[in-house]
Amino acid sequence: MTTIKQHEAAVSSYIENMLLPSEPLMPLWNRENFIYSKPAKWNYIDACVIRAILMLYSLNGDKRLSDYAVRFTNAYISEDGTIPTMRAEDFNLDSINGGKNLLFLYRETGLERFRLAYEKLVTEQLSDQPRLMCGNFFHKAIYPDQIWLDGAYMALPFMAEYSIISGKAEFADDAVKQLENIRDLMRDKNTGLYYHGYDESRKQKWADKKTGLSPQFWLRSIGWLCAGLTDICGILPSDSAGYSFCADMLAELLEALAMQTAEGGMLLQLPARHDLGENYPETSGTLLFAYSALRSARLGITGSAIKHAGEKAFSRVTEDFLGFDDPLPVMRNICLTAGLGGSPYRDGSAEYYLSERIAENDAKGIAPYIMTYTEIMR
């Protein structure tokens, strides 16, 4: 296995040579923006990196990290807490991900603009977020009647933390109930894994007409679910019923994922499709598993076997999928993006997921790498 010094060198290089030098409106880690010439706006990808930076700051106290997070976030929010590049009426759960950073930065700085901004996420979006009949949020307005696993990370931990700081227990209760529905509706009883999407209306071409489920397990979406459950367990009181449910669901899922690890500890883009020769070890989802495995063990939710699986996965990424070029490491095998429906239409097939672009040094790999490092160092 790799040494702590190798992990530390990689994280340090990313911080010094990519993250801190990045201009907030053109961050070097957001490969989607560069590849597809997207304009700068409030988005979940950048929020993941700022989250990782703040986790590292909590570990080492390097004030440069928190100062950068403040400067970055200030570039996207106004003094009154408005986020000009975000449209609440899009009801995009991805937009809520940055709310976690707003909660942290308000605690850290006391700046009112951060409090106003996270309150606006609640009052202007979440309070009116459309729901399925079962009670779960639409993933986005453009994806009506659909649950995507991604939303379990993007929105539900924010709701749990907001519940604690506001004293409004109904937000945590709502988050836990949505996770209960996800388990009931989207979990495969044979493998213990979760399908990427669920369409309550059964109207989508990708949806099974009987179950409403998409046809494949996609690794990163399951990784988002793992990390969402992990973070909620780090927020809720350990003697609460919500914590107990989330901890059991997380332990069960991590055990199921650990069963799918390939030789060496990596997980595949389609984690249960070991029969497909073109299936490949995917780093971002593997790292979300590693982070969740290590943090769940630290919280006492899982034991030494899951902790070892997380350590093994993290070491394998560093050894085989992280090239130490000067001055910047190059992380490989990151699925750039994937989804369901839309235009051009994404049918959720194995062929579709394996056709999506594979990127290097994208935020969706770098952020969970740093997150996992913070757990290794605790």
Quickly list DSSP for 321-370. Answer: SEEE-SSSEEE--EE----SBTTTTB---HHHHHHSPEESS-HHHHHHHH
**Is the pLDDT assigned to residue 127 strictly greater than 90?**
yes
Find all residues with CB under 8 Å of 131, minimum gap 6, and list them: 137, 138
pTM to 2 decimal places: 0.98
Measured from the Cβ of residue 118, the count of other Cβ atoms closer than 10 Å reads 26
Residue 325 has pLDDT above 80, yes or no: no
Percent of the chain with pLDDT over 90: 97
- Mean pLDDT for 357-368 is 98
Question: How would you classify the pairing of strands 329-331 and 322-324?
Answer: antiparallel
Let me know if 82 is exposed, middle or buried by CB neighbors in 10 A (0-12, 13-18, 19+).
middle
- Residue 1 confidence (pLDDT): 62
The SS3 assignment for 235 reads: coil
* Helix-then-strand count for the chain, H and E: 15, 6
Total structural domains within the chain: 1
Whether residue 326 has pLDDT greater than 90: no
Dump pLDDT digits (tens) for 1-34. Answer: 678 999 999 999 999 999 999 999 999 999 999 9
Q: Is the pLDDT assigned to residue 284 strictly greater than 70?
A: yes
- Say what the pLDDT of residue 2 is: 74
- Angle 92-96-102 (CA atoms, 0-180°, nearest 5)? 155
Q: Mean pLDDT, to the nearest integer, of 273-290?
A: 98
Q: Find the domain containing 236 and state its range.
A: 4-376
CATH of the domain at 175: 1.50.10.10
Contact 329, 322 (CB under 8 A): yes
Tell me the percentage of the chain whose pLDDT exceeds 70.
100
**Mean pLDDT throughout 206-231?**
98
Cβ contacts of residue 58 below 8 Å, gap of 6+? Answer: 374
Distance separating alpha carbons of residues 322 and 13, to the nearest angstrom: 12
Query: What would the two tokens of residue 156 be?
Result: 């539900």
pLDDT at 228 (0 to 100): 98
- The total of other beta-carbon atoms located within 10 Å of residue 263's CB is 6
